[in-house]
Amino acid sequence: MRRLSGTSRAGKTGIRTALSALLLVATWGGAALAPSTAAAAAPDPDASPGLIAAMQRDLGLTEQQAHTRLAQEKAAFAVQPSAERAAGADFAGTWFDSDSGRLTVAVTNRQKAEAVRKTGADARVVTHSAARLDAVKQRIDRLEAPAAVGSWHVDVRANQVVVQVAADRAGRADVKAFLDRARAAGPVRVEKVDATPATFAAGTVGGDPYYTHQYRCSIGFSVHGGFVTAGHCGTSGTFVRGWDGSDMGWFQGSSFPGDDMAWVSTGYGWWTVPVVYGWGQTSDRLVRGSWEAPVGSSVCRSGSTTKWHCGTVLGKNETVNYAVGAVYQMTRTNVCAEGGDSGGSFITGDQAQGVTSGGWGNCSSGGNTWFQPVNEILGRYGLTLHTA
């Protein structure tokens, strides 16, 4: 996929003049609220007109529907921890149902389903637990996948593991052999797709947030001491320059493939703030935490090439098979992205979700984009998210 990065010089001239080198990617998400009809109907004071407009454009919502959805997702965030605890070992996954505006929790036990409903979430009884499906996916992770296999993931709604294969190469012998081994691992469904993922890397282009000797990429989120971004943007020790070409910092840690995560320490007069750029389409967003949004939630992305776009979380813990190797535990969305967007931020409400990795398609025809969850990056490197 192409890397996602930066902001336009025209849009940032005032900010850059005043703040020297403020390179931040922002997304917004919701603080948890108790579920209520009143909350679902009340406009969110933190939802700027630009954000609402982006949701209207990319999700096909009216203005009121956008406000309602944000409030419903905040309520779902609040319910999720207690609902998962109620499910216990019979837990089989969660997702936000945009039709009902509520969190749905899958369980393998009818009694646990009743316990889940008492927390305020909906429940669905299924056959396979999350632990069972995760074990199947882990067995597939140990297989060597041909390039025509794009990704595999647990589909919580279908209660299966889905393997995505390029339609024009599905009949190849190596693909068929891989799928036979995958099916032997457990409940697997094969899905034919038009394209397979690639990283969003791009050559150096002026006017974007940061550059290495080889690429330009986007900042994900500020952490104390620097920022997080995509691992394929640079290796440990890679030097980074800012949007204006001035010295910025170094890659202190990087992992790709296997993961797609990195963090850059900043110096040379650069500082961090809990903000991501709205590109004039929405106000610059404050980051207040990193609660993980369930499948079905809305999510927005900021990147230097394609600016601000929104969509939906489609799947979690997916394995993406890039040409250079597989990357695990990724989250899939239907938000578009293009070259130069890599490393940029994904956010729901004011809650950081992850950094852009790669995908297929573009912002003219649409596509899928995967991100590396931010909490995994923070845990790996012992970082603290800079929050408002």
- CATH classification for the domain delimited by 1-79+147-388, as one of 2.70.98.40, 2.40.50.140, 3.40.50.2300, 2.40.10.120: 2.40.10.120
Catalytic residue among 260, 284, 341, 350, which? 260
Residues 6+ apart with CB under 8 A from 27: 276, 285, 287, 299, 300, 301, 302, 345, 346, 347, 348, 352, 353
Q: What is the pLDDT of residues 41-67, one digit of tens each?
A: 466 766 888 889 999 999 999 999 999
**Positions in the chain whose pLDDT score sits under 70:** 1-43, 45-46, 201-208
For residue 272, the model assigns a pLDDT of: 84
Pairwise CA distance, residues 346 & 82, whole Å: 25
Whether pTM exceeds 0.85: no
Q: What is the pLDDT of residues 342-373, one digit of tens each?
A: 999 999 999 999 999 999 999 999 999 999 99
Element of type H or E holding 333: strand 325-333
Catalytic residue among 67, 232, 309, 386, which? 232
Helix (H, G, I), strand (E, B) or coil at 207: coil
For residue 8, the model assigns a pLDDT of: 34
Neighbours of 190 (CB within 10 A): 15
Residues 6+ apart with CB under 8 A from 98: 69, 296, 312
Pairwise CA distance, residues 211 & 102, whole Å: 42
Catalytic: 232? yes
Pairwise CA distance, residues 164 & 174, whole Å: 14
For residue 277, the model assigns a pLDDT of: 83
H helices of the chain, where? Answer: 9-19, 37-41, 49-59, 63-87, 110-118, 130-141, 173-185, 374-381
Catalytic residue among 342, 345, 350, 386, which? 342
> How do the domains of the chain map onto residue ranges?
1-79+147-388
- Reference 66, options 244, 220, 58; nearest CA is 58
Residue with tokens 């109907």: 41
Catalytic: 342? yes
